Amino acid sequence: MGYTAFGQIQNAAAVKRAWVNEAITAYRQQSFWEKFMGTGSNSVVQRITQLKKTEKGDRAMVGLKANMQASGIVGDNDIDGRRESLETYWVEIRTDQLRKSVSSKGRVDDQQSVFDFRKEAKDSLSDWRAQINDDMMFLAASNISFAYNTDGSTRTTGAEDSLTQLEYASDVAPSPTSKRHFTFNGTNLIAGNTAAIASGYVPKYGALVDLCAEAKTRGVKPVMVNGQEVYVHVVHPKTFAYYKKDADFRDVLVNAAERGFKNPLFTGAAGFTVDGILFHVSNKVYNTAGAASGSKWGAGSAVDGTRSLLLGQQALLYADIWGAADWYEEKLDSGAKNAITLSQYSGVLKPRFMSRLDGNTVQDFGCICMDYYL
């Protein structure tokens, strides 16, 4: 078991030190997905906070309503026996507990340290929760196993457990569905195929136009924001860099966004809309930069790629049963050590349904995956 020793001096050549009561911590990245969460269906990530009983026990149940298909009844023609049923697909989100705990080294170290163990522990545990949930949501949306990090490297566990042991980990399908997976070969959209990724498969403005058309044609529901329909496009920083190098994209961006130094081309900022697509950038978008050669994409599985996401309504479902999570503080070793544990009871699912606009085949509900060269 690891103990946190704030007071211990490593390789101390002198006895006296002047310590500042403030830590320089690693970059704290706020939860990416939090801003997209809501309790209603008009959310990229629908948050469920209540469980409904099923025969298997407690599960989070969510309904996905399909569009109506038949044409209607004309004039005074008899309507009895000709009513169309509303088709609702119930999906089940399996849930499980995930915990993380830290402990101080002991009374002596606590006395020597100028750091407040309780404050630092809560900061680190809160950051862990935000990051681990972001990881799982990016992986689930990208159809990548929880056994990996978002850079394609194998996730290390140390003395802790693998995330693949979570009840809902097995619900991550090994690939996007056939009509929700594309790549751009530099000229046109083609069916998604990671083995085909090559250096010319970089994003351009034309890819956005085609991608938006595919989403609308296939009935991926856009999110309503201030009365406007938008899709959310989440890309890796290097993908966004390729977009900005494309002359057509730059022209559209310069003319569509605010002029001057507040324009995204100058600031590098995302969160702006181009042709009904709201851009967001995150370094947690799945990519293969950390994967070993032979486990990447393209020829010889040695080419790096990344999987951008186009998101509409209910692209992900997130069961957040305990809300703000559970904090538990205790004493260990006859009261000599302080310990704090954070626990959450949650579940993540990328829902699927029977799509009438895709030949009555099962498809991902609100997410399209787009593969590019990295």
What DSSP state is assigned to residue 336?
T
Whether residue 299 lies inside any domain: the answer is: yes
Whether residue 289 lies inside any domain: the answer is: yes
Q: How far apart are CA 210 and CA 247, in angstroms?
A: 17
Integer CA distances (angstroms), 2 to 75, 315, 364, in order: 76, 38, 42
Amino acid identity, residue 218?
Answer: R
Q: Decide: 142 and 307 in contact? Cβ < 8 Å.
A: yes
Cβ-count burial of 200 within 10 angstroms (0-12 exposed, 13-18 middle, 19+ buried)? exposed
Q: For the chain, how many structural domains are there in total? A: 1
pLDDT at residue 2, as a whole number: 66
Query: Which among 330, 292, 256, 2 is positioned nearest to 148, based on CA atoms?
Result: 292
Whether residue 20 lies inside any domain: the answer is: no
Q: Decide: 312 and 94 in contact? Cβ < 8 Å.
A: no
Whether residue 213 lies inside any domain: the answer is: yes
pTM score: 0.83
Whether residue 28 lies inside any domain: the answer is: no
Block means of pLDDT (10 residues each) for the chain, 374 residues, are 53 44 53 88 88 62 61 62 58 89 66 62 86 96 98 92 95 96 95 96 94 93 86 94 92 63 42 79 96 96 98 93 79 80 91 89 95 96
pLDDT at residue 50, as a whole number: 76
Whether residue 76 lies inside any domain: the answer is: no
pLDDT at residue 115, as a whole number: 54
Domain of residue 291: give its range: 33-67+87-373
Residues 6+ apart with CB under 8 A from 24: none
pLDDT at residue 207, as a whole number: 93
Whether residue 51 lies inside any domain: the answer is: yes
Question: Count of residues for the chain?
Answer: 374
Other CB atoms within a 10 A radius of the CB of residue 235 amount to: 24
Amino acid identity, residue 114?
Answer: V
pLDDT at residue 296, as a whole number: 98
Whether residue 59 lies inside any domain: the answer is: yes
**Phi/psi class of residue 27: alpha, beta or left (left: φ > 0; alpha: ψ in -120 to 50)?**
beta
What DSSP state is assigned to residue 244?
H
